[in-house]
Structure 1
Amino acid sequence: MRIHTRKVVAMRFIFMSEGETPPGHTHEHRYRELVDEVLLAEEVGFDAFGTSEQHVAIGTATTSAPEVLYPYLMALTTRIRFVHLVTLLPTRINHALRVAERLATEDILSNGRVELGVGRGNTTLALRAFEVSPTENKAQQIEGLEVIRRALHNDVFSFVGEHYKIPPRSLVPKGIQSPYPPIHMATGSPESVRTAAELGVGAIVGGFYLGFEFLENMLRIYDDALAGATHTYPRQAQKLVAVGGGMHCAETRDEALKWARGLTESVALSTDAYQRLSKLSDDYQYMGAVKHLDFNDERYMFEESSGFIVGDPEDCVAQVQRFADLGADSLVMRIDGLPHKELMKSIELFGKYVIPKFKNPKAVVRTPEAILDDIRTARPAHYAELEAFESAQKETTGNTVEVGEAR
Structure 2
Amino acid sequence: MEIDVFNEVQDPRPWAAGHEQARFQQALTQARLADEAGYGCWWQVEHHGAEEFSLSSAPELVLAAISQITSRIRLGHSAVLAPHRFNHPIRVAERAATLDHLSGGRVELGLTRSTVPEWRLFGIDQAEVRAQTAAAFSMIPRMWTEERFSHDADGSGIPDIRDVRIQPKPLQDPHPPLWQAASSPASFEEAGRRGVGVLGTTMWESLERAERLIGLYRAAVAACADPVGAFVNNQVGFFTFVHCAETDAQARRNGAAAAAAWYSTRALSFFEAATDFRLAMERHQALIDAPDGGGLAGSFLRAEQGDAPTEGALLIGRLLGGEEVQDEEVFEVLSAQNSLIVGSQETCREKLRAYADLGVDRLLCLHQMGGIDDEAVLTSIRLVGELIPEFAG
TMscore range, shorter length: 0.7 to 0.9
1:112 aligns with 2:109: no
Q: Is 1:21 aligned to residue 54 of structure 2?
A: no
Which residue is equivalent to 1:298? 331
Q: Distance in 1 between matches of 2:242 and 2:274?
A: 24
Give the aligned partner of residue 404 of structure 1.
none
Q: Distance in 2 between matches of 1:253 and 1:228?
A: 43
TM-score by length of 1: 0.80
Residue 302 of structure 2 corresponds to which residue in structure 1?
Answer: none
Q: Flag structure 1 segments of 5+ consecutive residues without an equivalent.
A: 1-10, 361-407
How far apart in 1 are the matches of 2:72 and 2:93? 23
> Is the aligned partner of 1:83 residue 2:76?
yes
Does structure 2 conserve the Cα–Cα contact (< 8 Å) formed by 1:51 and 1:66? yes
The equivalent residue for 1:314 is 346
Matched, 1:278 2:280: no
Distance change (3 Å), C-alpha of 1:123 and 1:346: farther
1:262 aligns with 2:254: no
Deviation track 1:179-198 (CA, whole Å, cap 9, x = no partner) reads: 10011001111111111111
Look up the SS of the partner of 2:50 in the other structure.
coil
2:355 paired residue number: 323
Counterpart-to-counterpart distance in 2, 1:317 and 1:325 = 12
- Comparing 17-26 and 308-317, the one that deviates more: 17-26
For residue 345 of structure 1, the aligned residue among 379, 383, 387 is 379
Superposed, which structure 2 residues align to 1:350-389 within 5 Å? 350-352=384-386, 354-359=387-392
Partner of 2:244: 249
Report the RMSD for the aligned CA atoms in angstroms.
2.1
Residue 261 of structure 1 aligns to a residue in which SS?
A: helix
User: Please, what TM-score do these two structures have when normalized by structure 2?
Assistant: 0.82
Structure with higher Rg: it is 1
* Matches of 1:178 and 1:208, distance apart in 2: 34
**Correspondence 1:212 to 2:207:** yes
> What amino acid sits opposite 2:96 in the alignment?
L
Q: In the aligned structure 2, how far is the partner of 1:206 from the partner of 1:257?
A: 22
Over 3 Å counting, the alpha-carbon distance change for 1:231 and 1:69 in structure 2 is: same
Aligned-partner Cα distance in 2 for 1:29–1:283: 42
CA-CA distance at 1:347 after TM superposition: 0.7
Aligned residues of 2:237 and 2:363 also touching (Cα < 8 A): yes
User: Displaced runs of 4+ in structure 1, greater than 6 A?
Assistant: 281-286
Once the 2 structures are TM-superposed, how far is the Cα of residue 282 of structure 1 from its aligned partner? 6.4
Query: Which residue of structure 1 lines up, in the alignment, with residue 189 of structure 2?
Result: 194
Shift of the alpha carbon at 1:299? 2.9
Q: Deviations over 1:314-336 (max 9, x none)?
A: 11111011011110000011111
Question: What's the offset of the Cα at 1:64?
Answer: 0.3
In 1, the alpha carbon distance for the partners of 2:383 and 2:336 equals 20
Contact 1:118 1:186 in 2 (8 A): yes
Alignment of 1:121-132 (within 5 A): 121-122=114-115, 124=117, 126-132=118-124
Q: Distance in 2 between matches of 1:185 and 1:95?
A: 17
Q: Do structure 1's residue 133 and structure 2's residue 166 form an aligned pair? A: no
Q: How does 1:218-229 map to 2 (within 5 A)?
A: 218-229=213-224
The amino acid across from 1:190 in the alignment is: P
Judging changes above 3 Å, is the alpha-carbon distance between structure 1 residues 285 and 340 closer, same or farther for their aligned structure 2 residues?
A: farther
Looking at structure 2, the residues matched to 305 and 47 of structure 1 have their Cα atoms a distance apart, in angstroms, of 23
Sequence identity of aligned pairs in percent? 29
Is the counterpart of residue 168 in structure 1 residue 160 in structure 2? no
**Alpha-carbon distance, 1:300 to partner:** 2.8
State the distance in 2 between where 1:236 and 1:69 align.
25
Are the counterparts in 1 of residues 44 and 63 from structure 2 also a CA contact under 8 Å? no
In 1, distance between residues paired with 2:8 and 2:45? 6
Structure 2: unaligned runs, 5 residues or longer? 286-308, 317-324
Equivalent position of 2:59 in the other structure:
66
Instruction: Give the aligned partner of residue 305 of structure 2.
Output: none
1:277 and 1:284 in contact (8 A); partners too: no
| Worse-superposed segment, 198-207 or 81-90 | 198-207
Q: Which amino acid aligns with 1:24?
A: W
**Alignment partner for residue 95 of structure 1, among 88, 91, 102?**
88
Matches within 5 A, 1:23-38: 23-25=14-16, 26-38=19-31
Which whole-Å CA distance do the structure 2 matches of 1:120 and 1:277 have between them?
Answer: 12
Structure 1 residues 282 and 209: CA distance shift in structure 2, 3 A: closer
- The 3 A distance-change label for structure 1 pair 217 and 358 is same
The Cα shift of 1:291 comes to 5.4
Letter matched to residue 137 of structure 1: V
Letter in 2 for 1:15: V
Total equivalences in the alignment: 344
How far, CA to CA, are the matches of 2:231 and 2:74 in structure 1? 21
Is the 8 Å Cα contact of residues 89 and 140 (structure 1) preserved in structure 2?
A: yes
Measured after TM superposition, the shift of residue 242 of structure 1 is 1.6
